[in-house]
Structure 1
């Protein structure tokens, strides 16, 4: 189980949200008082500094332990212990990630990439593939298969960086491209709104899946030595996450024919938070069966 950005898992004392993942207000220039009018003789009063984002609560000690234990139990069963899968996912969201809000905030690079992908798909839907590609200086890709077009746009959607967060966003995008043919998405010029949604659902699901792999820790979970059993474990986890993400998109009801680019980032943020909420609930339900 894992991605191309293997990681042994974060320490339990690490912050739930890394320092580089801030609210939109972080880094904004502090307001300044208006300049005095001629003859005032009153020096300007320095403006108050911009408020810092509210600090996240301290992480729970050993917050990954229960999720790791249940992921190991699920993996060791070859995918047959669905109750362990449910407990693992539910505990990951509620304990390891610190709840859906914190979990969504930790997907900084993935959320940004998802918004860029959604914006491009919306542009294709409203202006056509040729015009959308021309905006990115990629008009020569028109007429190519969907997987080839999107692969060529990876640098636009997911710029390469050195952090785990950026690696997850990029890795998940390439996994999504691989899945496109099986999902029936082959012709970018004639994408339906449903196919656009499928692309985004696959991407968001892969980012969450990769985030879990890295958080729980590849070295911290024992996987079956049998290749078929290992693939069954991977496929079940992916399908479980994809189901929760699909429900979140259903609630969001994005209209790609009239997508609001100004609110796109907020829409993606809500989808991620809703997905984690749903996954926690689905996991709890599965653990009780």
Structure 2
């Protein structure tokens, strides 16, 4: 307010910088001065002797989100199957186009179609593994392994009913439901097939049982994906049965071709190769179904 004077800075007797601070101002200690504080996170133990806290690991990189599936990928197969159904089973060209489009477009090819049936493939391998074990060591010993020795001597359909939870251990998901439905259909078909004696089961009969199971599993997968409930079926009950039977025969021909191809290639039914054998049959079955469907659709 008019009485203030200009500030001339600190005097030499009372510096603002302490004498023990290095002349460079960087924290270096002068001789006889107080020590520097230890830097943080140098691995010094805590006062209670516990090890120092470790730095959190870096977050894993985010995985790319797969592209959404085409919501119209089943439109073509559904339309062709509807035409086949409305014909009462006479329009084989539409059936062929429906199946070939399902494999190539809807499922993404034979390999991807087979991979989508992981539960059914695993159940098929367990079924074949048991039948193969019964041929190798006898039915009683194979059943004893599963704690089902009491079923020894019973007809094969009864034995398979008793071991349903071993072959198809769950039915909570769609895939598990398809696997179990195919298994039940296989047991029903066995009752009229003449294959009833597990002790006398031949290698050809064993493959026939597996052919039944794979056929029902693939048929159920196609029906579930295409959504037969949304397809107009013929009102005539006999025509509807013909439609269902022709679809099953179409699928069975593909599975039969796949099994013939595996046997011609010298596939060995060793216990450690059963899953690979089953996986290859499924993939080949879809490949043959696609080829057969294209041939039918071109007629």
TM range (shorter): 0.7 to 0.9
Q: TM-score, with normalisation over the residues of structure 1?
A: 0.78
**How many residues of Structure 1 are paired with residues of Structure 2 in the alignment?**
244
- In the alignment, structure 2 segments of 5+ residues that lack a partner are 1-56
1:169 corresponds in structure 2 to 179
Distance 1:87 1:74 in 2: 10
How large is the Cα RMSD of the aligned pairs? 2.7
Distance 1:254 1:196, change over 3 A: farther
Scaled by the length of structure 2, what TM-score is found?
A: 0.76
2:229 is equivalent to residue 219 of structure 1: yes
The whole-number CA distance in structure 1 between the counterparts of 2:83 and 2:122 is 34
Q: Cα deviations across residues 213-254 of structure 1 (Å, max 9, x unaligned)?
A: 110113221111111111100000001100100110111129
Tell me if the contact between 1:122 and 1:258 (Cα under 8 Å) persists in the aligned partners. Answer: no
**Distance 1:283-1:208 versus aligned 2 partners, 3 A rule:** same
Kindly indicate whether residue 267 of structure 2 is the aligned counterpart of residue 286 of structure 1: no
Residue of structure 2 in register with 1:111 after alignment: 121
Alignment of 1:268-287 (within 5 A): 268-287=278-297
Q: What does 1:1-289 align with in structure 2 at a 5 Å threshold?
A: 59-253=69-263, 259-289=269-299
Question: Equivalents in 2 of 1:55, 1:227: separation in Å?
Answer: 46
Aligned partners of 1:267 and 1:57: how far apart in 2? Answer: 32
Measured in 2, the distance between the counterparts of 1:128 and 1:184 equals: 20
Q: In the superposition, relative to structure 1, how do residues 57 and 204 fare at CA in structure 2: closer, same or farther (>3 Å)?
A: farther
Mark the structure with the bigger radius of gyration.
2
Distance 1:57 1:99, change over 3 A: farther
Give the gaps of 5 or more residues in structure 1.
1-45
| 1:158 to 1:55, Cα distance in 2 relative to 1, 3 A | farther
Equivalent position SS for 1:143:
coil
- By relative contact order (CA 8 Å, sep 6+), the higher-ranking structure is 1
